[in-house]
Amino acid sequence: MSAYILCSSPLAEHPYKIQETGLLIYSAEELSYYIYNNFYLIDESFVNEELFSFLEAELELAESAGHLRRLRGERAGLGTLLLAILREFHYYSEAELKEFQLKYDAYRRQGASSRKAQKADFLLEHGHYLSAIQIYRQFDHVRKDTSLPKDFYMKIKQHMAVCYIHLGLLQEAMEAYLAAYQELPSAELLKQIYQFSCMSDIQLPSELYRAIKPELESAWRGEYEEISAQGGLLATTGPTAAMFTKDSVRRREALKKHIENIKRDYRRAIS
Amino acid sequence: MVPGMKGLIIGFDLCDSYTQIAVYDEEAADAVGVEFAQGVDEIPTTICKSRRKEEWKIGEAACEMALLGAGIVVDKLLRLVKKGGHATLENRTYQARELLEIYIREALNEVMERFHRPVERLIFTVDELDRVLLDGLMESVQNLGYSRGQVEIISHSESFLYYLLRQSTDNFANISAVFDLSKEGLWYYECDILRGVNPQIARAAGARLEEGFSLDILESEAGRKLADNIFQACVDRQFNRKIVSSVYLTGRGMKEVQDWGVKSLGRICSRRKVYLESQLFAKGAVWMGVAETDPGLVKYPYTMIGEGRILADVGMSMQVAGINKSLLLLEAGDRWYTARGSVEFILDDCDSIDLLVTQAGSRRPAVKKISIGELPNRPNKTTRVRLETEFTSEADLRVTITDLGFGELFPSDGLVLVREMSL
């Protein structure tokens, strides 16, 4: 049903910066949207005094801030706090809040490794490549959990490779791909590695190259050339794909924004 | 002295050809007209600049100065302001608005000198509410140091309402009427009360009558006869099948109506109360000022609908803290030229914005749809808009919709949609 939702307050003059992504928040509705769609990125530190002060001083929502502060003082769990924030600003309907709760509960039931991987995947999807890599790398130093799906660690390396490609670190991307293949070899992954090799001009290790049958190589190369003719592998996959469908002026703007995003992500990752 | 009242409350009837002024007299607890000289209750809206001196005269003194050749005169000031014109006086070009400012300054100085008190509230009343004139007038007065809250501009019909509602209630049991004959022509105003609603609605309307009636016609005997015939025809037409409780005759031309309008008066005075009242509009403006300055002293328990007032409520149905509520943006009875509405909201699955327009006295709102197809496509509930409403005339509403985007998540392109609609 169509409706108009009255904004709970004017836009903030001084926005609130979300530490996980560097995103600036100007209203209670934006905060609600961020929580609802990005809860993978949110941990206990998210609901903090700085956030309450922002609600009070910038959005003039002292009553809401007081309520949330009290709830945190009572040591409510993160899920309860997030739901309380969402309820406070009435941006989502009851049905949407129920859906959120179900998703959130399902997410929390997963093991720590799965949650971590999901967070990194989310960062990758939203263009925060360095931040995603930092999380993927953490799996290098932990003991492998055999209860996880058998392609779990392969996907970690594979996604890491995609992050490297977006950052233009092609040699590192190839190493990540090879590590993924080592974790769990498959024809699909081999095809990806082969096509990446074509794109990056980085030679495949000979033993891997020998594993590709000539007829498969021919088909994969044909496919690669077709994709390449349409604008390149990078342009047709991943979150940047939409940029290449825009006109030249908008493409330039989108690319500029994309680069800004990478810079911001980098600054955040090294800080 | 009215409690809390420190300065003068002035009603300023400002027309293209004449000016009348009235003030609130605390001792008499009444609005009284200002006489500019013995028996002179109006002055021409004329300004004259002394030659080679920065000295200004207004009204009759301006005309005298011009006749003596001691200054350069400018008249029809309001018309000049409406046109955005200017006048060149001794090699200097003055914008019409500047001249109006000087004219008002000089007129107010005269009043303040007479009463030895500053101005607390200033209510202008004009025969036609023209956006350019209203803006120019307001700017002029603000340049003179008066704040926006001290000044109000109302129409003659509204002045009449404020004047009438201070009279005996018998006078407005049914319709009340005004005939105003001045250099501006013959005007007719009518007021009635809608009693079946709460609060009751007091409404007034006025218009210049079509007959080319001017004061010049009264100069000759034949002209006076013709004037009587014209006036009688106007009375018959306006009063046809109406129950009129009271009639007010005002304006310079009506001062001698007993001499030239015998037949017309016969019609007017039939079974109704008739009053000859000079400075009626200026006095009405004073009452309005008193009501706004001290609502405890003078109460007008009505929704006032007159020229210059909004005829309908304008609102929206909106989710407020999760509950569907009606939100009022503009209220019937507010002055259209100062009324502004603004609200920020988020579109939830909408392809249009629906305004709810409820005519005064009605309970059922009409829906005015505003298409918003030009707004960028974004996920649902990620478009915040600011909707601003203002009237460009009494019945014409301008709606401005500004796309505010959704922060950094979905930035705005700065799109602004302007829609105009007639109510």
Asked whether the CA dihedral B229, B232, B237, B240 is positive or negative, the reply is negative
Q: Looking at residue B297, what is its pLDDT?
A: 78
In a domain, A5, yes or no: no
On chain B, the residues whose CB falls within 8 A of the CB of A41 are none
Alpha helices in A143-247 (DSSP H): 152-167, 170-183, 187-200, 206-210, 214-229, 233-236
Q: Are residues A77 and A169 in the same domain?
A: no
Looking up residue A266, the CATH number of its domain turns out to be 1.25.40
Q: Name the token pair of B47.
A: 């300004």
Residue B34: give its domain's CATH number: 3.30.420.40
The residues near B254 (Cβ < 8 Å, ≥ 6 apart) are: B179, B180, B181, B276
Residue B328: phi, psi to the nearest 5? -90, 125
- On whether both B200 and B330 belong to a single domain, the answer is no
Tell me whether residue B357 is in a domain.
Answer: yes
- Specify the residue for token string 């100065």: B65
Cα–Cα nearest to A59, from B344, B138, B411, B18: B344
Domain boundary among B139, B155, B171: B155
| Count of structural domains, chain A | 2
Quote the domain boundaries for residue B354.
312-422
In terms of domains, do A122 and A200 share one?
yes
Residues B124 and B90 grouped into a single domain: yes
End residue of a domain, out of A89, A109, A129 = A109
Answer yes or no: do B262 and B382 share one domain.
Answer: no
Token pair, residue A200, equals 């990056």
- The interface residues of chain A toward chain B in range 39-98, judged by CB-CB distance below 8 A, are 90-91, 93
Is B220 domain-assigned?
Answer: yes
A116 and A103 in one domain?
Answer: no
- Are A59 and A189 members of one domain? no
| Length of chain B (residues) | 423
Residue in B321, B348, B351 nearest the CB of A4: B348
A207 CB-near residues (< 8 Å, 6+ apart): none
The answer to the question of residue B129 being in a domain is yes
CB pairs under 8 A between A and B: 72
Residue B172 and residue B100 share a domain: no
Of A76, A109, A142, which residue constitutes the final position of a domain? A109
Residues A76 and A122 placed together within one structural domain of the fold: no
In this structure, is residue B294 part of a structural domain? no
d(CA B48, CA B44): 11
Please tell me whether residues B34 and B148 are part of one structural domain: yes
Task: With CB atoms and an 8 Å threshold, state whether B350 touches A3.
Answer: yes
Structure tokens, B140: 């002029």
Contact B406 A33 (CB under 8 A): yes
Which candidate from B319, B404, B406 shows the least CB-CB separation from A6? B319
Is A3 within a domain? no
Domain with A75, as residue range(s), is 16-109
- Give a yes or no: residue B305 inside a domain: no
- Same domain? For B344 and B233 the reply is no
Verify whether the Cβ–Cβ distance B407 to A5 is below 8 Å: no
Backbone angles phi, psi at B241, to 5 degrees: 60, 30
Residues whose CB falls within 8 Å of the CB of residue A241, separated by 6 or more in sequence, listed in order: A235
Q: Of the candidates B316, B347, B408, which has its C-beta nearest A23's C-beta? A: B408
Which residues on A lie below 8 Å from B353 (Cβ)?
4
Residues 363-382 of B with CB under 8 A from A: 381-382
Helix (H) or strand (E) holding B313: strand B312-320
Name the residue facing B346 among A1, A7, A15 (closest C-beta): A7
B144 and B26 housed in the same domain:
yes
Q: Which residue of A has its CA nearest to B318?
A: A4
Inter-residue contact B343 to B334 (CB < 8 Å): no
Q: Same structural domain for residues A96 and A172? A: no
**pLDDT per position as a tens digit, A113-136:** 888 898 899 888 878 888 899 999
- Min Cα separation B364/chain A (Å): 20
Interface probe, candidates A5, A93, A100, chain B, greatest B C-beta count within 10 A: A5
CB contact under 8 A, B348 and A27: no
What confidence category does residue A236 fall into, taking pLDDT thresholds of 50, 70 and 90? very low
Supply the pTM of this predicted model: 0.69
Do residue A50 and residue A129 come from a single domain?
no
Which residues from chain A sit within 8 angstroms of residue B319, using beta carbons? 3-6, 90
Whether residue B327 contacts residue A6, with contact meaning beta carbons closer than 8 Å, is answered with: yes
Q: Residue A121 falls within a domain, yes or no?
A: yes
**Are A151 and A257 part of one and the same domain?**
yes
| Chain B CB contacts of A127 below 8 Å | none
Residue B297 belongs to some domain of the structure: no
Task: Tell me, yes or no, whether B57 and B137 share the same domain.
Answer: yes
* Residue A158 is assigned to a structural domain of this protein: yes
Task: Decide if B288 is inside a domain.
Answer: no
Does one domain contain both A253 and A139? yes
Same domain? For B65 and B129 the reply is: yes
Same domain, A91 and A56: yes
Contact B35, B41 (CB under 8 A): yes
B139 and B165, same domain (yes or no): no
- Looking at beta carbons, which residues of chain B come within 8 Å of A27? 384, 407
Residue B237 covered by a domain: yes
pLDDT for B1 equals 44
From A109, A126, A157, the end of a domain falls on A109
Q: A152-167 vs A170-183: helix axis angle to the nearest 10?
A: 170
Do B69 and B36 belong together in one domain?
yes
A146 and A247 co-located in one domain: yes
**Count of structural domains within chain B:** 3
Structure tokens, A120: 């990194």
List the one residue out of B108, B28, B29, B107 whose CA is nearest residue B290.
B29
Q: Is A48 a member of any domain?
A: yes
Q: Which candidate from A6, A30, A93 shows the least CB-CB separation from B320? A: A6
Please list the pLDDT of chain B residue by residue as tens digits (423 residues): 445 547 899 999 999 999 999 999 988 999 999 998 888 899 999 999 999 888 999 999 999 999 999 999 999 999 999 999 999 988 899 999 999 999 999 999 999 999 888 999 999 999 988 888 998 999 999 999 999 889 999 999 999 999 999 999 999 999 999 999 998 889 999 999 988 888 888 989 898 886 667 888 888 899 999 999 999 999 999 999 899 999 999 999 999 999 999 999 999 998 889 999 999 999 999 999 999 888 877 788 888 887 888 888 999 999 998 899 999 999 888 888 888 899 999 999 998 999 999 987 777 899 999 999 999 999 999 999 999 999 888 788 999 999 999 998 899 989 999 999 988
Cα distances (angstroms) measured from residue B74 to each of A1, B62, B115, B138, B143: 62, 9, 28, 20, 21
CB atoms within 10 A of CB A102: 10
Residue A237 domain-assigned (yes or no) = yes
One domain for residues B145 and B29: yes
Residue of A7, A25, A34 lying closest to B345 (CB–CB): A7
Q: What are the distances in angstroms from CA A88 to CA A72, A76, A130, B272, B344? A: 14, 15, 34, 64, 18
Are A266 and A165 in a shared domain? yes
Helix (H) or strand (E) holding B136: helix B131-143
Strand, coil or helix: what is B183?
coil
Kindly state whether residue A8 falls inside one of the protein's structural domains. Answer: no
From the number of C-beta atoms within 10 Å of its C-beta (0-12, 13-18, 19+), residue B248 rates as: buried
- Which element (helix H / strand E) includes B116? none
Question: What's the half-sphere exposure (Cβ side, CA atoms, 13 Å) at B6?
Answer: 3
Establish if A41 belongs to a structural domain. yes
CA distance A153 to chain B (A): 32
* A262/B256 Cα distance (integer angstroms): 87
CA distance A235 to chain B (A): 22
